[in-house]
Amino acid sequence: MSERGVDDRAVLRGFEPSDIPTGVTHYRGKVREVLTRGDEMVIVATDRVSAFDRVLGVVPRKGEVLNRISEFWFRATADVCANHYRRVLTPRSMLVTPCRVYPVEVVVRGYLTGSAWREYAAGRPVSGVTVPPGMRENQEFSGAIITPSTKENDGDHDRPISCADIVATGIVPADDWAAIERSALALFARGQEIARANGLILVDTKYEFGHDGERIVVVDEMHTPDSSRFWYASTYAERFAAGERPDELDKEYLRRTLMECGYTGDGEPPEIPMTVVSELSAKYVAAFETITREKLSDSGLDAEAEKKRILSYVNEGS
Ligand SMILES: Nc1ncnc2c1ncn2[C@@H]1O[C@H](COP(=O)(O)OP(=O)(O)OP(=O)(O)O)[C@@H](O)[C@H]1O
Ligand SMILES: [Mg+2]
């Protein structure tokens, strides 16, 4: 993605190995970075943006939006399931409890859409779930379903797996998996309830669960535009009846813009104009405000200062 015009003070691109103090473990995902020292873990949502499984550039305010949306949901669901959230450290970072994470993406779906629709349309079950015949694209299921994937290492695409196979192959012990299924459905129900009150449909999402030594804990991010799909509730029924695509709270915007330029994930991505970057940034801020019903004020902290604060925290704690 072209980044001409992006103000470097406004974006946090990530940490370099040379930034990391000794004694601190550094993990770099596509979008987030994790710094761990002892029983302290900091998850940093950078401003990197990915589509088609690739990092394509940076979008101002994206990291802060994602961090603050996760914070909102961890607080709003803490009574439903224990989570790893301790507190927000800086606008883009969160202090969490480190856990032993099960390598499963626990996908919960309320509607038949996206990859589930594509599997169904091709006559295949979705992660072992047989979807009833005669359903239409974007139709609501009679009850939410769980369609897990295994979490694969760098570069490999996640692989769909049935709930039965997760237990049969020993990826998760049976009693823990039963608890995870119950928690995932309960979290999703709470998410849908709150989203609905704010005019949105929580369509589907992905959770990760871990063990903190005592109990099952929901970790990673929660109900963010990067891990979830949201539609606007007010137009859903009418558009579904007319066979039109639901109005979505955009994550698809970048993907669609790239596809309009003829890019579908292979080769060098095209240059994205600064207007698109600005548009994306505004969309992330709007997403925060719609989901949480709060205003996102400017943190006033430049990215370098924020990195310093995070590093000094993991270095000495405070
Ligand atoms: N409480 C926690 N304890 C231990 N690991 C955690 C915790 N919360 C999240 N994680 C891990 O932190 C990482 C966050 O990184 P991130 O999601 O950016 O990258 P990724 O999942 O490896 O790859 P991708 O870019 O495809 O999402 C994940 O591997 C996630 O499992
Ligand atoms: Mg991830």
Determine the average pLDDT of the residues in 118-127: 96
Tokens encoding 71: 């914070």
Return mean pLDDT, the chain. 93
**Separation of alpha carbons 225 and 236, rounded Å:** 18
Q: How confident is the model at residue 51 (pLDDT cuts 50, 70, 90)?
A: confident
* Residue 57 confidence (pLDDT): 87
Please calculate the CA angle 294-296-297 and round it to the nearest 5 degrees.
125
b/e per residue, 28-67, with b = 16+ CB within 10 A?
bbebbbbbbbeebbbbbbbbbbebeeebbbbbbbbbbbbb
* Residue 70 confidence (pLDDT): 98
Left (φ > 0), alpha (ψ -120 to 50) or beta: where does 61 sit? left
> Which residue CA neighbors atom 30 of ligand 1 most closely?
220
Q: Measured from the CB, is residue 34 less than 6 Å from ligand 1?
A: yes
* Residue 1 confidence (pLDDT): 46
Q: Measured from the CB, is residue 30 less than 6 Å from ligand 1?
A: yes
Q: Is the confidence at residue 216, as pLDDT, over 90?
A: yes
**Separation of alpha carbons 318 and 312, rounded Å:** 8
Q: Are 290 and 199 in contact (CB under 8 A)?
A: yes
pLDDT in tens, 145-172: 999 999 987 667 789 999 999 999 999 9
**Separation of alpha carbons 162 and 128, rounded Å:** 5
Q: Measured from the CB, is residue 84 less than 6 Å from ligand 1?
A: yes
Residue ranges of the chain assigned to CATH 3.30.470.20: 100-248
> Which residue CA neighbors atom 6 of ligand 1 most closely?
220
**Separation of alpha carbons 189 and 298, rounded Å:** 32
**Separation of alpha carbons 31 and 59, rounded Å:** 11
* Residue 2 confidence (pLDDT): 44
* Residue 258 confidence (pLDDT): 80
274 Cα to the center of ligand 2, angstroms: 27
32 Cα to the center of ligand 2, angstroms: 8
Locate the ligand 1 atom nearest the alpha carbon of residue 219 and give its number: 8
Among 27, 30, 34, say which to mutate for ligand 1: greatest number of ligand atoms within 8 Å of CB: 34
Burial class (CB in 10 A: 0-12, 13-18, 19+), 261: middle
* Distances in whole angstroms, Cα of residue 74 to Cα of each of 84, 123, 201: 8, 37, 18
Determine the average pLDDT of the residues in 12-30: 95
- Taking each continuous run of H as one helix and of E as one strand, the counts in the chain are 8, 16
| Amino acid letter for position 108 | V
* Residue 251 confidence (pLDDT): 63
Helix (H) or strand (E) holding 181: helix 174-197
**Domain 100-248: top CATH class:** alpha beta
**Separation of alpha carbons 145 and 317, rounded Å:** 41
**Separation of alpha carbons 9 and 202, rounded Å:** 34
pLDDT in tens, 56-104: 889 999 999 999 999 999 999 999 999 999 999 999 999 999 999 999 9
**Separation of alpha carbons 130 and 142, rounded Å:** 13
Q: Measured from the CB, is residue 219 less than 6 Å from ligand 1?
A: yes
* Residue 255 confidence (pLDDT): 80
Tokens encoding 186: 């309960």
Q: Measured from the CB, is residue 82 less than 6 Å from ligand 1?
A: no
Number of neighbours of residue 136 by Cβ within 10 angstroms: 9
> Which residue CA neighbors atom 29 of ligand 1 most closely?
29
* Domain range 8-99+273-316, CATH architecture: 2-Layer Sandwich (3.30)
Residue ranges of the chain assigned to CATH 3.30.200.20: 8-99+273-316
Q: What is the 3-state secondary structure (H, E, C) of 69-117?
A: HHHHHHHHHCCCCCECEEEEEECCEEEECCCEECCEEEEEEEECCHHHH
> Which residue CA neighbors atom 9 of ligand 1 most closely?
220
Q: Measured from the CB, is residue 32 less than 6 Å from ligand 1?
A: yes
